Structure 1
Amino acid sequence: MKILDSLESIDKFIKDNKVAMLYFSSQNCGVCVALLPKIKELLNQYSNIGYAKVEIDELQLAVGKYSIFTVPTIIMFIEGNEIIRESRFISIIVLQDKIRRFYDFI
């Protein structure tokens, strides 16, 4: 998974991918570590979704810009517009249902 380490790289990633998913996490977050492999496995089904990770410990400015109040947080963008936001206790099943709703139209 690509790791984005600046606000500029995040903006570029969102702009360069028609569908972009950002995974905000912290190194001290056990839930973040446990959830990441499940997210990767889920996204293997959706080849058109670009995804990347943002470590908030390394990039505090992202917390304010993207209103991250807890981790993990997943934000999905289509053509630069936020369409999905899930935080803290993220259900893979619910997330997959939300992705499917939008994925058929892109």
Structure 2
Amino acid sequence: MREFEDLTSLETVDTFIQNSKLSFIYISKNNCSVCHGLLPQVQALMEKYPNIALGHVNVDTVEEIVGRFNIFTAPVLLLFVNGKEYIREARIVHMDLFEQKIDKIYENVVGP
């Protein structure tokens, strides 16, 4: 299973987003049952998309992420294409709809 890179500062988050054509960030917090329950599902889904760089940010560690990305709840799933946010899902994520959104973008950026 693909691992998420731990991003521990706002600078590493920005560098991570800028260094990949496709980048995905999973934002969670401590003591969040939804965050911990959803992560393995997202991790399994991302196996389908080898060209997406995977990052993880803990809000309790990188508190500035809240202001940078207007985070109001957790978890938050963000997909960036060439540094621009294309998908944002938060809290309750319908995995089948999320997968359809990623499929469309991935096919357009990477190809079939």
Tell me which stretches of 4 or more aligned residues in structure 1 moved more than 2 Å: none
Segments of structure 1 that go 5 or more residues without pairing to the other structure are none
Normalised TM-score (structure 1): 0.98
Matches within 5 A, 1:1-106: 1-106=4-109
Q: Secondary structure at the match of 1:52?
A: strand
Report how many aligned residue pairs link the two structures: 106
The CA deviation at 1:2 is 1.0
Normalised TM-score (structure 2): 0.93
Give the fraction of aligned pairs with identical amino acids, expressed as a percent. 37
The CA deviation at 1:91 is 1.1
Please give the root-mean-square deviation of Cα atoms over the aligned residues, in Å.
0.5
Q: After superposition, what is the alpha-carbon deviation per residue over 1:36-70, rounded to whole angstroms, capped at 9, x for unaligned?
A: 00000000000010111000001110111111110
